[in-house]
Amino acid sequence: MTTSDRIVLITGTSSGIGLAAAVAAAGAGFHVVATMRDTGRSGALTAAAEAAGVADRVEVARLDVTDADSVAACLAEVVAWHGRLDAVVNNAGSGRVGTVEQDGLDPVRAVMEVNFFGVVDVTRAALPHLRASGGRVVTVTSVGGVVGQPFNEAYCAAKFAVEGFMESLAPVAATVGVAVTVVEPGAVASEFVASQGIDLPALLTAAGPYAPALDAYAARTRTAFDQAQTPAEAAGSIVTALTAERPPFRLQTSDRARAFVGVKLADPDGSAVQGMTAGWVA
Ligand SMILES: NC(=O)c1ccc[n+]([C@@H]2O[C@H](COP(=O)([O-])OP(=O)(O)OC[C@H]3O[C@@H](n4cnc5c(N)ncnc54)[C@H](OP(=O)(O)O)[C@@H]3O)[C@@H](O)[C@H]2O)c1
C-alpha cells in the first residue's frame, strides 16, 4: 500500500501544529482528514494546503474532542467513506496559566476535558479501525508532559495524564499491531498562547501573594517563546511518527526540547520502558 491510500485523521487543524501537520502529512502522501471543532475556521488550512499543492489530499471534517457524539460521528463517517483508518493524530489541546488556590477546580476540569479525556475518547473510537489496518496513534503531548512547570498545574497534569495513558496503552496496542507514539514539543509559535486570552496585567493584579512569582514566570516564558520552533518544524516530528518503520514511543520535536526533558528522563525515547512492559504482555 502507498501512503496515498492511507488515511490519517488529525484533531485541532484550524491553526498551529495541527494545521502544519495536516499539510505535511498530505505532502508525505497521506490522505488527511483534517478535523476541527468549527469548520468555519478552515480558511487558513485550505489556503496552506493549496499553497503546498496538496489540497486534493486534505479533507476538512468537524470534530470537537470534548463532544462524544461528534467524535463517534466523525470516526463513523471516515470509515464509511474511506473504508479504513491508518492513523490518528491527537493534536487538539489548550493551555491554562494559573494556580489552583486562586483558580478553583473548574479550569482544571476544563483543561482535563480537552487535553486528556478528548485524547482518550478519540483514541478509544479509533482503535478498532487501527487494529484492522495495523495503524498508529500519535499524540502531541508537550515537554510539559514530563516536566511540571510553574503556573501550568492543570495543563501539565493533563499532559502527564496523557503520557501515562499512552505509555500504558503502547505495549497492549503493540500486541494487536498498533504503534503508539507521543510527540513532545517545547515552545512553538502557534496560536497556543493567544488562544488562552491571557491578560497579564489583570492576572498580576489578581495574583495577590503569587504576583512576584507570576511576573518572573511571565518574563522567563517570553524568553522561551523568543526561541520557539515553527509549527512546521514541530509537525515534522509528527510525520516522522507516522512514517518511521519503527516509531519510538517518545519523540521530542527539537534538540532544545530533548535537552529540557533530559533533565528528568533517563529513557528519552521510551524504549527502555517499552522493552520492559512489552514482556509483560508477550
Ligand atoms: N505551542 C506550544 O508552545 C506547544 C508546546 C507543547 C505542546 N503543544 C501542544 O500542541 C498541540 C497543538 O497546539 P498548538 O501549539 O498548535 O496551538 P493552537 O494553534 O492553539 O492549536 C490548538 C488547536 O486545538 C484546537 N482545539 C482546542 N480545543 C478543541 C476541541 N475541544 N476540539 C477540537 N479541537 C480543539 C484548536 O481549535 P480552535 O481553533 O477551535 O480553538 C486549535 O486548532 C496542543 O496539544 C498543545 O498542547 C503546544
pTM: 0.97
**Would you say residue 94 has pLDDT above 80?**
yes
CB 189 within 8 A of CB 234: no
Lowest mean pLDDT among 56-60, 109-113, 161-165, 218-222: 218-222
User: What is the position in ligand 1's atom list of the atom closest to the CA of 13?
Assistant: 43
Q: How far does the centroid of ligand 1 lie from the alpha carbon of residue 116, in Å?
A: 13
Greatest Cα pair distance in the chain: 60
CA dihedral defined by 193, 199, 204, 207, rounded to 10 degrees? -80
Each residue's pLDDT tens digit, 243-277: 999 999 999 999 999 999 999 999 999 999 999 99
Distance CA 269, CA 251 (A): 6
pLDDT of residue 61: 98
Sign, CA torsion 121/124/129/134: positive
* Ligand 1 environment, Cβ below 6 A: 11-12, 14-18, 36-38, 41, 64-66, 91-94, 114, 118, 140, 142, 185, 187-188, 190-192, 195, 231
- Which domain, by its residues, includes 43? 3-195+230-276
pLDDT of residue 3: 62
**Would you say residue 2 has pLDDT above 70?**
no
Residue 215 lies in a domain: no
- Picking from 90, 190, 199, 103, the residue whose alpha carbon sits closest to that of residue 141 is 90
Residue 184 lies in a domain: yes
Residue 252 lies in a domain: yes
Residue 35 lies in a domain: yes
**Would you say residue 23 has pLDDT above 50?**
yes
**Would you say residue 156 has pLDDT above 80?**
yes
User: What is the position in ligand 1's atom list of the atom closest to the CA of 144?
Assistant: 6
Closest-CA residue, ligand 1 atom 29, reads: 92
Distance CA 31, CA 22 (A): 9
Residue 219 lies in a domain: no
Task: Label residues 245-281 b or e (16+ Cβ within 10 Å = b).
Answer: eebbbbbbbbebbbebbeeebeebbbeebbeebeeee
Distance CA 64, CA 58 (A): 18
pLDDT of residue 79: 97
Kindly state the DSSP code that residue 152 receives in the 8-state scheme.
Answer: B
How is residue 52 written as a grid cell? Answer: 503546498
Residue 264 lies in a domain: yes
Beta bridge partners of 9: 33, 88
Each residue's pLDDT tens digit, 229-245: 999 999 999 999 999 99
CATH number for 48: 3.40.50.720
Residue 214 lies in a domain: no
- Picking from 117, 121, 112, 115, the residue whose alpha carbon sits closest to that of residue 75 is 121
Do you know the residue count of the chain?
A: 282
Chain-centroid distance, C-alpha 59: 19
Instruction: Choose the residue to mutate in 39, 91, 184, 225 for probing ligand 1, maximizing ligand atoms within 8 Å of C-beta.
Output: 91
- Is 26 buried (19+), middle (13-18) or exposed (0-12) by CB count in 10 A? buried
**Would you say residue 29 has pLDDT above 90?**
yes
Annotated active-site positions, please?
155
Number of domains in the chain: 1
pLDDT of residue 162: 98
- Picking from 145, 85, 143, the residue whose alpha carbon sits closest to that of residue 115 is 145
Closest-CA residue, ligand 1 atom 7, reads: 142
CA dihedral defined by 80, 82, 86, 89, rounded to 10 degrees? -80
Residue 101 lies in a domain: yes
